[in-house]
Amino acid sequence: MVIARLSSLTLLGHGPAKVSGGTDARSFSGELGADRHCGSRSRQKPGKDHRDRRGRGGVGFPPNPFPELATTGYVEPITPGSSVGLGFAGFKDYAARLQEVSETLGGPTISGLTVIARQYDAQIVVGMALRDALVPGRLTNSSVLIGPEGATYVYHKVHLWQNEKLLFAAGQDFPVAVTPIGRIGMQICYDVRFPEATRALALAGAEVVTGVWNSFRPENEDPLDPAQFHHRAFTRAQENGVFFLSCNRVGAQSGHCFLGSSVVAAPDGRNLAAADSESEEILRAKIDLREVVRYRSFFGLWNDRRPNLYGPLTLQR
């Protein structure tokens, strides 16, 4: 069995893996984690640490926390009407500095992660601010799939939330990556509130959907529902028959705490692994892509669709 680490963004181990009799099994194991707790000491779920797992049947990685916009942090001001965070003279200064620290697909972040992906024969998904290579001043909030050969697929966030619209251009499609471990679709944070996004990925062949987050609460308020990310992963997984890997940031920025609560959901909605706090946690889960076919064939999801009746969903209102 091939082992990989899914950090506070997502890291997927290479497959298919060999099982008894020499048969290829479309399954892999992995881990999900997050960074520091907001104002508290971090903790790890009980279980064996896989930081150096290079024996037979497995490979391992050091922790790699990659949430949405992993290389820059979330946007400033973090919410409409709030002030730009400390260290910036104002929004104009922040926007200019965001341009400076953003990267192209040939930048150091992707180059460095490609070395790791090649070393461990891995697929890595990282959220980052991407600079348009041709149009100066144009940025996208993107999720990049990186394999041993480099960046292979890029998704630009379609549904930009609040102040993100001031800084990023919206994406125009939902690509699905064909990889050695299956077909992977990517989405980012606010996209999950639009069920059409995950359905579009599933209809394009996605078996695994990664959702990367920068979801937060004001530091002096409790979350509306600590399990909200588990509910969302359950729903998107079950209604599409996909594995849904939801990976949220933890830590603090500009008076806000990030909510953690990462989760791996199976096609039937079961939680294969789930974090239950805003603290650093490492989740371990085994994913068998044959479950996608088993679930869909039993429930008849695609046979029972009535797309001829769904026309109003695409009307501009």
Bridge partners, residue 256, by sequence: 218, 253
Q: Could you tell me the domains of the chain? A: 10-314 (3.60.110.10)
- For 120, list phi and psi in degrees, rounded to 5: -110, 10
Is 1 strand, coil or helix? coil
Q: What is the rounded distance in angstroms from the CA atom of residue 110 to the CA atom of residue 146?
A: 7
Angle at 186 between CA 139 and CA 58, to 5 degrees: 120
- Residue-wise pLDDT tens for the chain (317 aa)? 222 233 333 333 322 222 222 223 344 444 444 444 464 433 344 333 333 333 222 332 322 337 899 889 999 999 999 999 878 999 999 999 999 999 999 999 999 999 998 998 888 899 999 999 899 999 999 999 999 999 999 999 999 999 999 999 999 999 999 988 899 999 999 999 999 999 999 999 999 999 998 888 888 988 888 888 888 999 999 999 999 998 888 888 898 888 778 889 999 999 998 888 787 777 778 889 999 999 999 998 889 999 999 989 888 87
In DSSP notation, 86-97 reads TT-SSHHHHHHH
**Nearest CA-CA partner of 281 in 39, 29, 42:** 42
